[in-house]
Amino acid sequence: MEKIGFGVLGAGMISGIHADALRKSEKGKLVAICDVRTENAQKLADEYAPDAKVYSDFDQMLADPAVQVVNIVTPNHLHTQFVLKAAAAGKHVLCEKPPAMSLAETDQMIEACKKAGVKLGIFVQSRMREPMRYMKAALEAGRFGKVLRVDVQMKWFRNADYYKMDAWRSNRKCGAGVTIQHAFHYIDILQYLMGRGASVDATMCNLSHPDVALEDTLDARIMFANGVRGYVQASTALWPGNDVRIEVYGTDGCAVMAGTAMKEWKFKEELPEDEKIRKSGSAAATAGGDPKALPSEDHQYVIDDCVDAIREGREVCIPCESVRGTLELALAMYKSDKEKATVAIPFENEAAIWD
Ligand SMILES: NC(=O)c1ccc[n+]([C@@H]2O[C@H](COP(=O)([O-])OP(=O)(O)OC[C@H]3O[C@@H](n4cnc5c(N)ncnc54)[C@H](O)[C@@H]3O)[C@@H](O)[C@H]2O)c1
């Protein structure tokens, strides 16, 4: 079957993961790259897809009939305008996380894509790691019994140069900061596993990046609507940076994923497949100390799924609607830190969060 054409908008640091995933994909193909810095787009093409067309103007890339899906890989505060343009041009969209800087923008994106009849998926690709899929299935099957607690520990390190690479990386209104930029993936995992939040208590501080006016450390407690407590400890201040850990504890079972590997999988009632599940995942790095040290397999999963979704006329594996609750939690964390108070969900006046 002929491959579906993908265009990548934004050829910066993480674009190589998209290009590598598309190079390996048997379903999608990188046919166009667009960046206002044409040299970035050309460099990406030279390395991963010499036949891809290079654009500096997004409208021109959107006019290219070979492009059927657009991957939005620009800084966070620019996602919305490009998703809206792609939808208006009738292109399917896979957008990097966070979907947008506000729930209002996210709703606008969802609505526009629905109206245009195009897919809108978000790259919170850690959801699709094999151990995580087993955790989700075991939760749905009730194997944990009553869930008591879910946890994320993300003890990462980013040096000062990382924050100076580009102006947006140290500007909170552009979506910088450990909560919305890095921990977003793992706040998403908790929301994916537990559902909507009911309230949030969070504190933020800057432990080791005195030159940037951002939080590099987050401690948050979430009360989920289902009554389960979730805890997030996340930082980019902790040298050398280690693998993330996700832990689920219930009355009847416990599961821990570290990096991309299952570390613990114990149930009072064992099933024959548990032995295999215990060995699931891989030893791939997950950007603990190096922002580029990420496997492209998770992005490829999302890309391949999008092609299947288009062909089968079904929803993508990570629709934007399913990530809205994650953004709601992350924004509630900023509000809680700012107001030094517990924030109930839903909350009012999200625009004031970034003032
Ligand atoms: N899913 C993940 O694991 C993961 C990891 C890192 C980053 N990200 C996300 O990927 C996105 C990009 O991050 P990055 O680190 O590659 O950023 P970056 O700053 O390195 O790259 C962004 C690129 O977008 C280009 N750009 C900016 N404005 C543009 C415009 N108007 N038109 C065309 N191109 C434009 C820039 O020139 C740059 O080349 C962000 O949303 C970030 O949150 C996701």
Mean pLDDT calculated for residue range 269-283: 96
State the pLDDT at residue 34.
99
Which residue, by CA, sits nearest to atom 27 of ligand 1?
74
Which token pair is 171? 């500007």
Mean pLDDT (whole number) for 59-67: 98
In order of their start, the domains of the chain are 4-123+296-317 (3.40.50.720), 130-286+325-344 (3.30.360.10)
Q: What is the mean pLDDT of residues 101-127?
A: 98
pTM beyond 0.85: the answer is yes
Query: What pLDDT digit, counting tens, does each position of 25-57 carry?
Result: 999 999 999 999 999 999 999 999 999 999 999
Answer for the pair 215, 353: CB distance below 8 angstroms, yes or no.
no
- pLDDT tier, 221 (very low <50, low <70, confident <90, very high otherwise): very high
Work out the average pLDDT over 256-268. Answer: 97
Give the pLDDT of residue 355: 87
Confirm or reject: Cβ of 100 under 6 Å from ligand 1. Answer: no
Q: What is the mean pLDDT of residues 302-318?
A: 98
Which two tokens mark 75?
């800084």
Query: Nearest residue CA, atom 18 of ligand 1?
Result: 12
CA dist., res. 205 & res. 347, Å (int): 23
Q: Give the mean pLDDT of 291-318.
A: 97
Residue 188 has pLDDT above 90, yes or no: yes
Q: Is the pLDDT of residue 113 over 90?
A: yes
Task: Kindly tell me if the per-residue pLDDT of 333 is higher than 90.
Answer: yes
> How far apart are alpha carbons 171 and 74 in whole angstroms?
15
Decide whether any atom of ligand 1 lies within 6 Å of the 103 Cβ. Answer: no
Confidence at residue 6, expressed as pLDDT on a 0 to 100 scale:
99
Report whether 354 contacts 338 (CB < 8 A): no
Q: Is the CB of 9 under 6 A from ligand 1?
A: yes
- pLDDT classification of 136: cutoffs 50, 70, 90: very high
pLDDT of residue 285: 87
